[in-house]
Amino acid sequence: MKAHTKETQATMTPEKALAFLKEGNFRFQRNLKANRNLLEQVNDTSDGQFPFATILSCIDSRVSAELVFDQGLGDIFSVRIAGNFVNEDILGSMEFACKLAGTKLIVVLGHTSCGAIKGACDDAKLGNLTKMLEKITPAVQQTEQPEDTSLRNSKNIDFVNDVAKKNVELTIARIRKESPVLAEMEEQGAIKIVGGMYDINSGAVDFYE
């Protein structure tokens, strides 16, 4: 499989980009990798890059977007931060990726059993981590179940995963609210913004479209 070119990127639509990622995750789950020559892709992308998607995911070592979606060099922009939330810098990076570099899809990818989400659920305090986890606190607060406060912590994995999903939803809402550039592109159909959850047990990504 060749690296994407200006011509192949131009034929990409948001729907086609999402289909590419779904197909890649299908291959990943079955240990079927696309036939790529990565060194050839190094050479092919040396003069430019034409990725088709931008993926915001957690820094978790088990959730590498390139591997999870079976993509090669120059295929995707990968933004990684613990808890997969956005700030001004990440929004700016996404605007560059979509408006200037031509990607057609933004995916906010959470994952099950997320350590950052667990920390936020437990209101953990540790240096700069404290401020970072505060970005996820709204997801904890807005996750309705369970009402029993003794179950609203990292020991309840169902609660943790519900918070992770809510965090994805709130992150997408922030992208649309805080980036007029991306919101306008989505309204015009130039891009699509979707969420997803990676299951660390199965390797499957469940998309929220």
Q: Is the alpha carbon torsion for 195, 200, 202, 203 positive or negative?
A: positive
User: What does the pLDDT read at residue 85?
Assistant: 97
End-to-end CA distance of the chain: 27
In the beta sheet, which residues pair with residue 192? 105
Q: Is 204 helix (H, G, I), strand (E, B) or coil?
A: coil
More confident residue, 8 or 100: 100
pLDDT band at 47 (very low <50, low <70, confident <90, very high): confident
Residues contributing to the annotated binding site for Zn(2+): 58, 60, 111, 114
Helix (H, G, I), strand (E, B) or coil at 176: helix
- Provide the β-strand partners of residue 197: 110, 206
Show me where the domains of the chain are located. Answer: 6-114+176-208
Domain 6-114+176-208 has CATH 3.40.1050.10: yes
Give the Cα separation of 82 and 75 in Å (integer): 22
Cα separation, 94 vs 186, in Å, equals: 13
pLDDT band of residue 36 (cuts 50, 70, 90) is confident
- Average confidence (pLDDT) over 177-197: 98
pTM of the model: 0.95
Q: What is the DSSP letter of 45?
A: T
Q: What whole-number percentage of the chain has pLDDT above 90?
A: 83
User: What pLDDT is recorded for position 209?
Assistant: 78
Asked if residue 137 lies in contact with residue 129, where contact means CB atoms within 8 angstroms, the answer is no
Tell me the pLDDT tens digit for each residue of 147-158: 899 999 999 999
Task: State the binding site.
Answer: 58, 60, 111, 114
Query: Which residue in 15, 54, 86, 58 sits closest to 200, CA to CA?
Result: 58
What is the DSSP code string of 104-158?
-EEEEEEETT-HHHHHHHTT---HHHHHHHHTTHHHHHH------GGGSSTT-HH
Q: What's the CA gap between 194 and 198, in Å, rounded? A: 13
pLDDT recorded at residue 42: 83
- Smallest Cα–Cα separation from 41: which of 71, 3, 79? 3
